[in-house]
Amino acid sequence: MDPLKAAVIVFPGSNCDRDVAVALKASMGKAPLMVWHRDTELPAVDLVVVPGGFSYGDYLRCGAMAAHSPIMREVKALADKGAPVLGICNGFQILTEAGLLPGVLMRNAALRFICKDVTLRVETTDSPFARRYAAGEAIRLPIAHAEGNYFADADTLDRLEGEGRVAFRYCTADSDVTAEANPNGSARNIAGIYNEKRTVLGLMPHPERLAEDALGGTDGIPMFEGLVEALS
Amino acid sequence: MTKMETAVTPEVIKSHGLTEDEYARVLDIMGRAPNITELGIFSVMWSEHCSYKSSKKWLKTLPTTAPWVICGPGENAGVIDIGDGQAAIFKMESHNHPSFIEPYQGAATGVGGILRDVFTMGARPIANLNALRFGDPSHPKTRHLVAGVVAGIGGYGNCVGVPTVGGETNFHSSYNGNILVNAMTVGLAQTDRIFYSAAAGIGNPVVYVGSKTGRDGIHGATMASAEFSEDNEEKRPTVQVGDPFTEKLLIEACLELMATDMIVAIQDMGAAGLTSSSFEMASKGGLGIEMDLDQVPVREQSMTAYEIMLSESQERMLLVLKPGREADARAIFDKWELDFAVVGTLTDTGRMVLKRHGEIVADLPIDPLAQAAPEYDRPWVPGKKRPVIDSLDVPAHDPIDALKTLLACPDLASKRWIYEQYDHMVMNDTVQRPGGDAGVVRIHGTKKALAVTTDCTPRYCLADPHEGGRQAVAEAYRNLSAVGALPLAVTDNLNFGNPEKPEIMGQIVEAIQGMGEACRTLDFPVVSGNVSLYNETNGVAILPTPAIGAVGLIADSSKIATLPFKEDGDSVILIGETKGWLGATLYLREVCGSEDGAPPPVSLHREKREGGFIRAMIEDANVTAVHDISDGGLLVAVAEMAMAGNVGATIQAPNGIALHAWCFGEDQGRYIITAPASQVPVILEAAHEHDVSARLIGTTGGDALTLKGIGTISVTEMRKLNEGWLPGFMSAPDTNA
């Protein structure tokens, strides 16, 4: 069968577009299409990635401008059809602004940009993104953001938890979800969430940054390989 | 003073920083009195910042060539060949004065400016570094300045998506009124696609791209060329405001344009903005230039010619295009939503003619202005040599207690609080993150990597500028060697006080001479640099700080060495000679409360042999960890390796040397390496062949650092001390402000 086709959306100010393209190619064997934000048609693809960076400089609320780019209508339409959409960091912020995921990413509690490795507890493996992880295991991925403090009202958080839509939580190396392990003040230590069908994932940590031994770890690889497996 | 009709009075001339002699020269060149716009242009072009008038004579003595140097000083940045048709392009530059006045924007625009210097030449920036000096932690402004500078560097570098992979931060009371913010960028280009600034082709269009011109930063270069006094807060309007989003677009647009054949010449608008960029391009090409300032994209329509020419608004570039290519080039900038305006043409007159509202508002000869800028041979006196301190005259404190003090002192405390605010991983090629001896970034898609570092020990430079200049270069050489990189070239950022004072000029001269000696012996040419003088407030100068930024090449990035201890049972070997030098050390300053003494001397030939030996050991995979010994001495270096690896060690001090001198002496040219016990004979034999001193001093293992027969401290406690100081300082309640 044909190899999988992925698209990476490029906004003005995206800066992790190449990084995620490299990781996708390593797992999929084929370079993804790079799609410019002004395009009004999305080619037929199996997966869309909204990458990290500073779309429009994050000068307005993070992701707010990019959410209104022409291509996002196509991304929404594809997501509605059930195609997987992965939003990483600024991509997560864009997906919340675009209404594909609930909640919002606020300034980090410490009011500083934070770039470091964190550990995440895999909350569910029932998704095309997490099927290669073990439920409850602690994985290590880097964060690099100033606005990763996830917030939603209590009802929304309860619903996310009740529906098994919390993807990852910040935790200790022993998978304990503690206040000390929360790097940015996120509600209930939430690092990533799914839509209702678990076909759209937004997360602040960067799986593409630890997808190679030489970069210090490979805990990001199962996410990309899981997608390949699920979509093949 | 910004109105066109402002008269050129003696007061106005003085406020533009021109001396009487210099103004006489202006009259001579012009053959008439200049108008205010012309005076402003002379003022910025002849400022210390743009003309290097005090330092040029001495900078010329630095070695700048080697077979691998493609372009040395004089262009926007230095260019070296790194093989396979690839070049590394890099430079370090200061943004000291603006960062003190407005730390966030000052530091941010410092990063933006140095990025432009590098991508102007056709390189994609792949690494940023910074060398920061702040005042005493107890000074009421220090915390505010640290917070602002770090946030500003991060705010800019993170947004443009270039990893900040290394740097250094010192604290000293001499920087209370003049902090130093030196930013370095390293970029990657193809050797056959390097772009220069010399204009060519009479009639070719001169094109302005990037942000619009506003009233910010007018006279920034002049400000950076004078001492501070009490009223420097009033200079806030001279600080520019950065727009990293536009910079990111400008990088992508320029690299896209550079992939075509449309560009004749390109130059970023840095200090002195449109004035210096247009003068430099025309001057290097031996041509004239005519510009219609009505075409310059402006934020405010009422701006005068004076303001447009002297604005230091950021994120702007000036290009000379091949004729007839304007529309194709414009399409690229339209895509990236950036301004694009044809503002002038090249002429054969050798003059710069500026028009505003249809009238000629300035008409100046280019060469006399750009190339015949004043050059001074300022009087200087050599520094007084300080006595060498006998280590036996230095109090011998308990080594474990002294280690605790050192690990938690501001200069040695972990800088994690700083580098975690910088995205050091974006671009996914950072194979050595901050915290090692040098940052290492892979050349994307290859096995190769570049190692990068910034170094200077200002307290040595004050004690002996000549030795301090040698040491700064040698330490950079050592840090590159410690990760396994072949040191290739350096960029320098010379930060000093007022050069009109003979003792300060003496520091400049001696430091440059020392640097030159080291660069020559180590085959480590200077390919770019920047000078920042007048770092004085109310007559008090900073420590002489000739910061060195350096780049080395690693052939196989899978073979780099790192500093953490790896596992229990490795042998710990000391490379280099230890005499126990305590003068001008951190032990003396932090533990004994004295800043006296001559600094440790550097043996350059030995340094070179040792560097070669270390690189050979790394290449042959004989070693499991490598760390150079620098500030704080041997025991601090071992402690750093233990903390980084979470593995302890037991160390045995030799007889025949005072224990405190052995533990904390800062003798130069030393490294700590570890290796499996089975490799030790091979390593000692190789050391002998390289004529390098090597000595087995201990074994790794356990969860504590033990000085045999003396004392012990747990790795956890060391880490608490080392990691605790900076976050504690930055979050302490605001009682001292």
Instruction: Judge whether residue B230 has pLDDT over 80.
Output: no
At B369 the pLDDT is: 84
Instruction: Judge whether residue B198 has pLDDT over 50.
Output: yes
At A1 the pLDDT is: 54
Across B55-77, average pLDDT:
96
Angle (nearest 5°) at CA B730 between B100 and B154: 60
Distance CA B501, CA A60 (A): 49
B155 vs chain A: nearest CA distance in angstroms? 8
At B15 the pLDDT is: 87
Task: State the distance between the two ends of chain A, measured CA to CA, in whole angstroms.
Answer: 8
Interface contact A214-B154, CB threshold 8 A = no
Measured between CA atoms, the residue of chain B closest to residue A57 is: B245
Name chain B contacts of A58, Cβ cutoff 8 Å: 159, 245
Q: Determine the residue among A115, A141, A145, A218 to mutate to test chain B binding: the one whose Cβ has the most chain B Cβ atoms within 10 Å.
A: A115
At B666 the pLDDT is: 98
Measured between CA atoms, the residue of chain B closest to residue A54 is: B159
Strand blocks (E) in B279-396: 288-292, 316-321, 339-347, 351-356, 359-365
- Beta-ladder partners of B356: B359
At B3 the pLDDT is: 45
- Beta-ladder partners of B452: B439, B551
Measured between CA atoms, the residue of chain A closest to residue B426 is: A16
Q: Determine the residue among A113, A184, A210 to mutate to test chain B binding: the one whose Cβ has the most chain B Cβ atoms within 10 Å.
A: A113
B95 part of the active site:
yes
Distance CA A173, CA B192 (A): 49
Interface contact A57-B243, CB threshold 8 A = yes
Question: How many CB pairs lie under 8 A apart between chains A and B?
Answer: 82
Residue B130 and residue B164 in contact, taking contact as beta carbons nearer than 8 Å:
yes
pLDDT digits 0-9 by tens, A175-195: 999 999 999 999 999 999 999
Phi, psi of B57 (to 5 degrees): -55, -40
Interface contact A208-B151, CB threshold 8 A = no
Instruction: Judge whether residue B382 has pLDDT over 60.
Output: yes
Q: What share of chain A is helix, strand, coil (3-state, %, to 5)?
A: 30, 25, 45
Residue B600 DSSP class: P
At B2 the pLDDT is: 42
Interface of B with A (CB under 8 A): 151, 154-155, 158-161, 243-246, 248-249, 336-337, 419-428, 430-431, 433, 442, 557-558
Per DSSP, the residues of B668-715 read: SS-EEEEEEGGGHHHHHHHHHHTT--EEEEEEE-SSEEEETTTEEEEH
Distance CA B667, CA B649 (A): 22
Instruction: Judge whether residue B217 has pLDDT over 80.
Output: no
Of A71-75, A206-210, B13-17, B328-332, give the lowest mean pLDDT range: B13-17
Interface contact A114-B159, CB threshold 8 A = no
Phi, psi of B182 (to 5 degrees): -110, 120
Tokens representing B238?
């001279």
Catalytic residue (one of B95, B466, B627, B660): B95
Across B530-539, average pLDDT:
94
pLDDT digits 0-9 by tens, A8-62: 999 999 999 999 999 999 999 999 999 999 999 999 999 999 999 999 999 999 9
Give the CA distances from residue A145 to residues A205, B159, B344, B492, in Å, rounded to whole numbers and listed in that order.
Answer: 9, 10, 42, 32
Across B245-271, average pLDDT:
95
Across B707-711, average pLDDT:
97
pLDDT band at B229 (very low <50, low <70, confident <90, very high): low
Interface contact A214-B420, CB threshold 8 A = no
Closest CB to B244: pick one of A19, A57, A208: A57
Positions of A annotated as catalytic residues are: 89, 206, 208
Of B2-16, B501-515, B520-534, B681-695, give the lowest mean pLDDT range: B2-16
Instruction: Judge whether residue B53 has pLDDT over 70.
Output: yes
Instruction: Judge whether residue B223 has pLDDT over 80.
Output: no
Residue type at position A59: Y
Residue type at position B253: A
| Percentage of chain B lying above the pLDDT 90 cut | 88
Tokens representing A18?
């190449």
Interface contact B248-A12, CB threshold 8 A = yes
ipTM here:
0.97
Distance CA B544, CA B601 (A): 17
Residue type at position A88: I
Across B60-83, average pLDDT:
96
Give the CA distances from residue B101 to residues B142, B181, B229, in Å, rounded to whole numbers and listed in that order.
Answer: 12, 12, 12
Distance CA B227, CA B490 (A): 28
Of B677, B559, B579, nearest in space to B629 by CA? B579
Distance CA B406, CA B422 (A): 26
Instruction: Judge whether residue B737 has pLDDT over 60.
Output: no
pLDDT digits 0-9 by tens, B137-185: 999 999 999 999 999 999 999 999 999 999 999 999 999 999 999 999 9
Residue B104 and residue B151 in contact, taking contact as beta carbons nearer than 8 Å:
yes
B216 vs chain A: nearest CA distance in angstroms? 20
Name chain A contacts of B332, Cβ cutoff 8 Å: none
Residue A32 DSSP class: P
Interface contact B248-A18, CB threshold 8 A = no
Across B107-112, average pLDDT:
96
Interface contact B421-A112, CB threshold 8 A = yes
At B228 the pLDDT is: 67
As a whole number, the mean pLDDT across chain B is 94
Interface contact B426-A56, CB threshold 8 A = no
pLDDT band at B218 (very low <50, low <70, confident <90, very high): confident
Q: Determine the residue among B160, B425, B560 to mutate to test chain A binding: the one whose Cβ has the most chain A Cβ atoms within 10 Å.
A: B425
Instruction: Judge whether residue B442 has pLDDT over 90.
Output: yes
Instruction: Judge whether residue B512 has pLDDT over 80.
Output: yes
pLDDT digits 0-9 by tens, B267-284: 999 878 899 899 999 999
Phi, psi of B225 (to 5 degrees): -115, 25
Name chain A contacts of B425, Cβ cutoff 8 Å: 115, 142, 144, 206, 209, 215
pLDDT digits 0-9 by tens, A129-175: 999 999 999 999 999 999 999 999 999 999 999 999 999 999 999 99
Give the CA distances from residue B193 to residues A221, B144, B261, B297, B329, in Å, rounded to whole numbers and listed in that order.
Answer: 36, 43, 10, 29, 17
Instruction: Judge whether residue B443 has pLDDT over 80.
Output: yes
Q: Which residue would you say has higher pLDDT here, B436 or B271? A: B436
